[in-house]
Structure formats: structure tokens, C-alpha cells
Structure 1
Amino acid sequence: MPSRELQSLRLEVERLRQRNALLEAELTDRTRQDPDLFRFLFDTMDEGFCVIEFFDGPHGPLSDYLHILANAAYARHAGIPNVVGQKLREMVPDEADDWIARYGQVLRTGEPLQFEQELVATGRVLSVTTFRIEPAEKNQVAVLFKDVTERRRAENALQELNDHLEQRVAAALAERSLLAELVENSVARVQVVDTSLRFLAVNARAVKDFEYLFGRKIKAGDNLHECLDGFPEERERSVAYWRRALSGESYTEVIEYGRGSDKRHFELRFTPLRDSAGGIVGAYLFVYDITRQVGEQKRLLETEEALRQIQKMEAVGQLTGGIAHDFNNLLGGILGAQELIRQRLQKARYADVPPLLNSACESAHRAATLVQRLLAFSRRQTLLPQATRLSTLVQGMEDLISRSVGPAIEVNSHFELETGTVFIDPPQLESALLNLCINARDAMPAGGRIDLHCVALEVMQDTAQSLDLPPGPYLRLSVSDTGRGMPAEVLDRAVEPFFTTKPMGQSTGLGLSMVYGFVRQSGGQLQICSLPGEGTCIHLYLPRHDAAPLPAPAKGMSLQAAHGPGKRVLLVEDQAALRLVIAEVLEELGHQVDGYATGPAALEADLEFDLLITDIGLPGGMNGRQVAQAMRGRLPSIPVLFITGYDANAVLEDGPLPQGMRVLTKPFDLEKLVDQVDLLLRD
């Protein structure tokens, strides 16, 4: 051993000897009057006792302590003999920090402390009382303790026994027919009836609830039919519940009870009551208030729905660059065509105008279609399924998919063998297809190829069993990529909700699970084929139908003249250009149009109107619905046409529109405007 370390060790030993000498001197002085009595009490006391002294160690100031005094009971309670002179971190190094923290607090504050803690090294649970020995500069703490391991075990056993209380109660009731005291003191609402539906027992909670709901106090001996007299619907339901239990069925029902806004949910557990021979002599009911659990479940469902919406918006975020590029191209075509029209009109070259107008209109329609697809993709509402031809749907998305996955990935589609249609929600299938393509893109960071392929096939009995599908005709839409593929452990969990291999914050883990849920709800199946290094192919099996797809809306209809005499129309639209166009169209049909940019300005017109057309989002402190409400306060039967740049379902968030109101989404064809006006004026 180096001389420096040896010298340090000698100094520490000498310091301990000096401290022990001082301690012995103090003890001698304190017990000088009756030393034998003090020593006898110290050695024979039942509790363990020791004095510890803190010192600076390798772990920092006052980071260890030395046992400088201990009685004989120390080893009996703690299970560690001969502790005097031992350092804590040498005795129990793995749990030293916990004991240092406990006694260090007493040393620092001077406040006594009582606590229970397990000495892991010996498996003993100790009940400890500890206080600082003054003066504080001594760095000494006195510890008085005893072994309470058996008591703790007894408490644990009692807790375990309490956890099985309900099972024991049910068994006791079945064996002895009735334990009235236990029923009365139960935390649940308890009712017991005989085979004639006469109450054998009810506890206080059940009596209180019954009085609150039905205004009557019930007691043993009352008949259920009579107690519910005046409540025929509740009597019929309750009797049906009890009859099931009296027939030998044990079951659970969840119901909602309460008056007005004070609605609460309860779990009803019905069980037949049997005698010692097993015959049914009645039935009993335990009722538990589960309002909080139902609320938590509702919040969980809302959270899951919010996460699904996040997944949709995450996919929309992936499209932002491509959409901006697409809109710039579309707007460039519209603005360029309009500028050329202006120049041709100035030069009287009228023959060139129609093609330019057609080009501008086509670009505008493409922009409107793109917006509607995004609105349908991101909205929360459940869409209605309809007969859909897959080739038409996919071809309509090819530009969107190509821009989403980027120029480094080639996208091909094949529909040579497609026959028939599928009955699905088109926007949901578009969302699913876009999710699959974005996942494929992420699996090919260096670029690659995505193939979209659809075939009609017949799923036979053996294949149907493996796919968990009924046999029959299907269309299989496949999305394959040349990416890195999935290992077996990832493939097994691919459709689990919230499972993702992407870094935190880059995915919710809901993409494939949402696709799987949509396909299953549509009566189909999702199948994943993938090997590491060989890419991935995802098959969507959808039941084939013979129904024809819905026809596309007709184009190029000419504006028809108004039916009957012209009407007076109040138009509220803050966009001057659109206000001008709507007014021009309606005036050409013979109507008189008064146009305003804000709701307050329109309401100042003290005139009789036959129709109100208003935008939903308006400046000036009033929205379109408020304007309509104010106008109907003045003219209760006035029809209303709402126009909005948002999805039409957003207007319906507060419930269905009243009679005589319709919605038209921007941008709209003039023919649609005329049709809606005509329908409202006819009603």
C-alpha cells in the first residue's frame, strides 16, 4: 500500500479512537450516578438502538455514517450483528443512499422523524424513530427501531383478503341465503328479492337511490311491482332484468339513470341466489356507480378520434409543397388566359376569346376539385358509401400521389383486368391509398417505384378462410414498392394502433391501422406481403358489386329564365367580384338584387325581400347564420341560401338546417346557383 494511503488510514483510525474516547467519557459522565442501571436498561430494552455519526466520504460531504454505539437488540431487529465501527456503505452499499437521505434530513433540520422502511439486505421492515444528538456539530443521530415485518405481512394479507371481498360476499350469500349485516354495510347498492320479486333485503345506499329516482322508500317485504307503480316503463325493464337472474343467469348490464342534466351511469351485476341444494330461491343485485369510468372512456374515444385526425392532417402536411406548386400552376393558367383575353378584346380578335375562356374555366375547375378533395380528406364526418370504379378513383388521384411522393419515385397504375365496382366511401379510400403511398415513399429514401394494380378475382373457400373473408367476387387493389421491406417482427405488428418504426414526433402510428379498420368496415381485408430488402406489397380486398358508378355531374347547361315574375333578393357577400357576378346572373333572370358587404349594412335595408343569399364568413361582427336569424326575426318565412368556401358539413356542426335553408359551397357553377335559387323560391 502506498505510504500516503497508509498515512491517511492511520489518521482516520486515530480520529475514530479519539471520538470513541470522547463518547465513552460523555457516557461515563451521564451515567456516573447509576451506571449499572443505565447499562442494564440499554442492553435489555426490546427496541433496537444505535447512535450513528456522519462523516465526509468519497460520495461527498456527510455522505456516509459510522455506527458508534448499538445495543444487543439491534442485531435481533435488523438482522445484522456487530455493527459498532461499521460504515453504512460497507454494510449495505446497494441501499445506502436511501438511509443517508432519511437520517441526513434529521441531521440537517434537527426535526425528529418517524417512518417505516425495508432493510433490503435482511428483508426486515423496520419502524424507526430518529432524532439529532445535540450539539449539531457532532454530526450524530440517534436511532430507535423495531422489526415490524410480521405486522406488515399481516396487513398485506388483510389487504389481499379485502380485495376478494366481493367474491367472498357472493359465496356467503349463496351458502347462507342472506347476510343482512354485510348487505347493509356494503359499498355497493345491494338489493335481494325472492322468486315473487319481494325484497328480502336492501341496504342504505339502495334505499337512498330508489327514493331519489322514484320518490319512495323501499324496505324488506315490499313488492317490486308495487314500488314501481306509476313508472310503467321502468317497472317493465326492472322485472325483465330480475326474471333473467331468477332463471339462473348471471350477467351485467350498464344503464343510465338520473333526472335532467344529472345523468349517471351504473353497472348492474345480477346473480341468482341458491340454497344449499343448488335450487334458486331468489336473486341479488350489486349496483356500482361507474360515471367516472364512462367519462374516462368517452375522453379516451375523443382522444383516439383526435389522434386519427392528427394522422389525416399529418398526411395533408406532406402534400403542402405539391399543393402549392399545383395551385401556382393553375392560377398561372387562369391569370395568363385572362390577360390574353383582355389583349384580344382590345385588338378586337374575338375569335381567340372562347378557347382562352375554356382554358381558364378548366384550370379553375381543377383547382376547385383539388380543394374539395382536401376538404373531404381532412373532415371528421363519416361519409356515405357509394358504388365506385377503382380505376376512375385512382386515375383521379395520380397527380396528387405523384406530387406527394416526389419526383424521385415513379408511380405506375394497371387496371387491365378490373371489372365491376366496390361499395365504399370514396374519400376514405383516397385517404387510405394516399397513406399507403406515403408509407411506400418513406421506405424508399433513395427513390424507387410504386405500382398500383387492380384485378377482379374470385376468393375460394380455402383462401377465404385464411383471409377471414366470405367466399365470393372481390376487387383487389394492390400498392407495391421497391423499398427496404419489413422484418418479421415489424410485419407482425404493422396494423397495431400507435405502432410505428419512425422516430418520435414523425408519426402517430395510426396510418396502417386506420386503413385496416376502413377496409374491414367495408367488408374487405388487408394483406401485407413483405421481406427485408425485397419491398412491400399491400393488398386491399374489397367486395365486388354489379352496381354502376354514379354519373359525373353534367356540364355546359344553359341558364334558364326564372319561373314566374322576378323576386327581390337580399345578397350579403364581402367579396365584391363574387357579389357582382351573382347579382348579374340573378338580374338577367329577372330578379331584383340588393347587394351588401356586411350583415349590419344589409339589415339596415328596411325592405321586404323574397330570398336571402349570404356568405357564412362575413366581416363587420355578424356571420351569415346571425344575419339569417335576424332576417327571419323580421320575415319568418324568408328562404335562405348560405354560400361558403368551407366544406358544407362545417355549416351543419350546430345541427341540421331549418326548413327553407340550403347550402352551396364555393366555387360553384352558375347553373347550380340558379337551381338552388329556383328551388328555394318554389318551396
Structure 2
Amino acid sequence: MADQREDTCGAHQHSASWDEGDRLAALDRYAILDTPREAEFDDVVRLAADVFGAPIAVVNLIASGRQWFKAEVGIGADELPLDVSICAHAILQQGIFVVPDTTADARFTCNPLVTGEPGLRFYAGALLETPDGLPLGTVCVLDTKPRPDGITERQRLTLELLARQVMTQLELRREIAQRDKRAALLQSEIDARRNLEASLRTSEQRYRALFDTIDAGFCIIEVLFDGERPVDYRFLEVNRAFEAQTGLVDAAGKRMRELAPDHEQHWFDIYGRVALSGEPIRFENEAAALGFWYDVRAFRIGAAKERHVAVLFTDISERRRAERAIQQLNETLEAQVEARTAELSLMWQTSPDLMLEIDFDGVFRRVNPAWTKLLGFSETELVGHHVNEFVLPEHHDDTVDAYETAAEGQHAQVENRYRHKDGSVRSIAWVAAPAGSITYAIGRDITKEVEQRERLQQMEDQLRQAQKMEAVGQLTGGIAHDFNNMLAVTIGSLDLLKRRIGAEDARAVRYIDAAADGARRAANLTQRLLAFSRQQPLRPEPVNANSLVAGMSDLIRHSIGGDIQLETVLAGGLWRTHVDPNQLENVILNLAINARDAMADGGRITIETQNAHLDQRYVAAHLGVGAGQYVLIAVSDTGSGMTPEVIAKAFDPFFTTKAVGKGTGLGLSQAYGFVKQSGGHVKIYSEPGEGTTIKVYLPRLLGDHPEHEPESLVQPLPLGEEQELILVVEDEPAVRQFSVDALVELGYRVISAGSATEALRLLDANPAVSLLFTDVVMPEINGAKLAEEVRRRRPELPILFTTGYTRNAVVHNGVLEPGVQLIGKPFTIEELAARIREALDTATS
């Protein structure tokens, strides 16, 4: 690469060994200036622009006071003044002249083509030198963007090869021009002799001299066809260079198949097309049978029916060998790079920390496998997406600040929170550094550390809250005590006074009743003061959910409107629960209104109650849920349903899918908070287009109640028999595995399928299947349609359905027929054992 010298802007400091007059004279001898465009030179600039990926490429000849372009791409002009020429500097250098950034080179900072349009920033040019070493100009490429790394060795070689090709063309033109001059002199002699025969002989001699003296191989062939298919060609004429270029001896008059039987068919096809179409062609190809690579130009001559083709070709085998050597060198270098990066690749693949490549716009370009292990997302789910699609909204600004800091060339550190694919949250601490146009970052999982900090903060908040409420409690307790003492005296005295007066003085009795009523209202006020001092303003009491739902049915019907049907299915023998009834009414009403909003075209809302038991298997999969007996209140609708992404955020405060002004996004979060505060659990079952069921589990109120059964009594489980084979069909892998494990534990043989299609294949392959245990809602083919096909193939086979929706929701929504065998999720192993046994025994009987 040429040095960038601090010369005066635009000045050409001529220090070369040649004389400018000699150089201009040499340029004149080629007679190239102001000649029309020629395809040979146009091909060179197009190839140069393509190889370099540059918008501008030029064959530039430096004349007196101007630079003239024999061929150009991207300039749109035939010439420009010499004082704006970068090539004028290039001819003063030896070898390739490269300017990576013109704005950083003092010679070009005031060049109007740099400071103005088109805004040139990069230049690379190879000299066009005569055999005497005089520079005529350059073959150059230019770009409007700087290239700090300059050019590669392969690009350098390509530019030199293109420059030699241009000089070859110039030499060929000059040689032809000189031959033409000699021919003109001969022609004048022939005219002087006025002897046609002598003139023809002289012309033939002139032609033959040109034909035999050029270095390139030349021949005229007659293409031979079998019908429309070219099968061979005969050499009519060959020049002296032909034998050196091909190795074929005495070729004139002979066929190519005779001289080289293994010559490739594609050569005959190419010349056949030229002979038939008359369109000239230029190409490079290998003649393996001859052991050469050729640069070939072929064109038809004479009448079309003669099928004669003139072929001018040059041996480029040496160039191709050089290109192959360069390719092998590059492969060797690539192997060395791969070896050196193996350790980094191993670290990338095995590191437990998150690693990424991200551009300055915040878009993932590459991630390591730790992302899948830590956050559940595959590389294809991340690459091409913006980082904030996975970062919690409250950390978006900090994340943007971090990668913008890296874009400015500085190291950056940031802590943010990512949402796991399963909906959970991970806290990550990042260190990032820029490299070129990419930022590299490493993230460490600090979730446990953050949770510890948050727990400590929560404990501090709870301590401050407790201290505050203790002070408020002491104050309100003292006030209430004093008020109650005074009110006790007041109310007691008024009661005694009323008894003594009796009913004789109605006016006095009226005054006494008024005073007593005021005292009782004051007593209620003291109770409110006491309630204010508590952290949770709930008033739990024993509640019968059946009575509560029945009592608010009219209110719900009024709230949801006449287009939606309300159905209540209240279980007999329902346990009682200990909650605030007013808050519970608010929860049920809120769920009903949400269900209404999901059914714009009308539908059905079903409110059900059940006794439920959540076992250890269930609570192990649901953080924060305690095992035990619960009162279940389920609200189902036939509406549009929810996607997994919406379900994951359904309980987030202020999250809503409703239009602006149609909802606050607080309803479900308030319901969730109340249920959690009451020791309960909320679960959503929903799929797009299949409606929604929200199940509220409230702890059973234990005590001296007839429906309470001691948990210490363990009933024996009904077990399976060795010959009984159960086919389990469930699209959720975790639920499917639980079902299989439970049935195996119960003594059954089990096979399982993740889809209805797979289930039918297994059923056909296993005639010993005793029972089909299938989910109701599955993608593509649901459980009901699967059952129809199974009954067609095996009418006697018992079927047990399972679903996260309630029985009434799936039956009345038209998914299942009434009377089918159905077990709701979540189910205990005891419930599963009983229902499987019941289905098998019913089918047997």
C-alpha cells in the first residue's frame, strides 16, 4: 500500500525517473485518446467494480491537462480536469496505489470530488505501464465509503491482472494499427502498380503476416453438426502461435475429435451456438484434454450456412495456477485462524455465562448455547431480534444506554432482567466491549444475588411497616379503649334510663333511642380505627361458596348483559372456606366481566364449585402453592381464549389486551393478590379459539365440620393388572410424563403419544391397548375427534378424557358429548387410579 504523505493538497510532486514529454509521446503512439467505447475495456471496469464491490471503476489515461476515461462505471463523464485527479498521483508511485480514506490524506482533503459530490473516500489503482516503464494511466476503483483495511492480497493481484489485460489490449490495438499502416503502404504500392493480382497477393501477405505474428492463438473452424447438435469442428486455418498455445501439430484440415478424442463436449456446444446464432462470445474455460485454460473470443465469419467461426484465444493457465495457489494459501490461513480460534470456540460453547454479539442498534447477531440453558431460548429465536424484546420493560432504557455507550467505543456495564421462555425472570449482570461495528458482551446470572437483595429489602420494608403499624396500633388501641369505656357507660346508662322511664314518655324514649344509636355508631367508628391499624384490611369469615355464588347470580346477569348466558353448577357437600366474602364477591364479578369482554358476539359463562385436593406432584410444579384440600371456584367462557404469552402476563399489574379506556389492567392482579393473601392459588387454562377457564383455589376451613376427613387415613389405591395397556395422549410433555409415571406406579403398562396422529399409529400397532386416556384440547386434531376415529376402529375400547377446563365448560362448549368419562386437571394419583379403574371395569361389565 502506498504511503500517505503530507503533501500540499492537490499538488503533484513529480519525482519519477521518466520524463513527462516521453510519457505523453508514448501515450500518443497508442492513439487511444478520444476513441469510442470498446467492449474489451468496458468488461474490465465492470469486473473490477464487481470484484471490489465498488460503485466506481475506471480505465483512466493521464493526458496533458486532463484525465480521459477509455471505460468507466459510476462516473458518467468521458474526462475530468487533471487538477482533481487522484490517478495523477498514482502514476508517480510504484506498484498499487491505495488511499484508504481520502479525508485523512492531506493531498486530497481539498479535492472537490472529495469535499463535494460524489464524496470520494477510497481509491485503489494499478499502473498501465508501457514495456519501457512509462505510466500511461491506471485501472482504478473508487468508493464513497472509506476502507480502513485497504485491499486484500487477492484484490491486489486482481487489480494487477486487470491492468496487464488493459495493456495487452492497448498493445494489440497498436500492433493492429501498425499492421494497418503497413497494409496501407502496401496497398498504395499495389494501387501504383495497378496490378490486381499483385494487389491480392500483397493483401494476402499482409493478412498472413498479421495472422502469424500475433502471440495469441488464432484459428478459423468449420463447425460440423449432426442435425442440430454440434459434434465436431474442422480447422480451416491456424496461425503460428496455435501450436504453442494448444500443443496440436499440423491441425489445419483436421478435425478436433481426430486430434483430441477426449476433448470436452461443451467446447463443441459453445462454438455451435456461435455458428447458429451469429452472436459473438467471450469466455474463460478449461480444456482438460489439452491441459490448458483459455481466455477465448469467438465470432462467426462468412455466410451463416458456412458455419465458420473465428477463434482468438490466449493461454491463461499460469494465471489460473496462480489463482489456485492463492486459494490454497487462503485455505491454509483459514485453517490457522480456525486452529487459533478453537479455544475461544470451546469457551463460547461450554461457558455457563451468557455470551453474545450485538450490533449498535441492539439487534442480536450471535449467541452462545448458555442462552438455551439459562433462559430457554434457542439461537434462532434470538438472532435478528432486538434485545429489549426479551428484557423487562423497566430495564429498556438502561439496556439502550449500555449498547449506545459501546457504540461510542467505550466499555459498558449494566444489570437488567430477562424473561425466561417459561415466563420466569432472570437477573443478569453484563460487561460489554465494542469491536468494529459489533459489541461483544458476557452476562452472569445474578438472580439469586438479586433475590437475596430483594428479600433483604423486603424484610427492611416489612420491619418499617411493622414499626409504623405498631405505633398506629398503640395509638388507635388506646383511643378505642378509652372510647369503648366511655361508650359502655353511655350506652348502659341510656339503657337503664329507658327502662325506668318506660313507654309513658314517648318523647323522652325517642331522645334516648337517638342518643343510643349515636353511641353505637361511635362504637363502629372505634372498630374502624382498630381495622385501620392492621396491615391487611380483610375480614375473613366462614363462607359457603355455593350460597355466595347463588346470592350474586342476579348481579352477574345484570353485569354481563342479555347476549351472554350464565350457568351455575354448584357441587353438593361443598366444603367451607375462610375468606372475606365481600372481596370474594368482587373477584367472581371481576372474572365474569372479563369473560364477558372476551365474547363480543355473545356466548356462555359457566361458574362452578367443587371440592379439590392439590397433591405434592401438583405443588412441586407450581411455586408458592401448598398441598392440601381446597374449595374450587371456576369461571369459564366460550370466548376468544388467550395465547401462552398473554397468560404469562395476565396477572401483571396494568397489563391488558383491551382497547385504551376499556380496562385498567388491575382486575386480575387484584384478584390474584386477594387469593394469595387468603392462602389460595389461581390457575388459568386457555388456548386461542378454545375459551378460558380461571380456577380459584381457596383453602378448606377445617374444624368440627362433618365433611372434614382426617388426612391420616390412607385408602388403598386400585391397581392395574399386568395385561392392561393404557395409551396416553397429551400434547404437553410435562403433563404426559406425569400421567405415564403415575399409571406405571399403579401397575399398568403404558405407551404415550404427543399428538392424535401419533396415537392412531400406536393404536394400530398395539391391538392389546385396553384404554385410551386423552387430553381434550390439542393442536390440529382434538381429543373429541380422536375419540371418534378410535371408536370407528375399536368400538369396544373405553376412553377417559382429561382437561384443564371444567366438565361443564367443555361439554357445553360443544367439545364433548354429555355423559363421557372425564377427569379434570389437576388430578391426584388417587383420583386417577379410581377413574381409570372405573372406566376399565365399566367397559368389562
The answer, yes or no, to whether TM exceeds 0.5 is no
The structure whose RCO (Cα within 8 Å, separation 6+) is larger is 1
Larger gyration radius, structure 1 or structure 2: 2
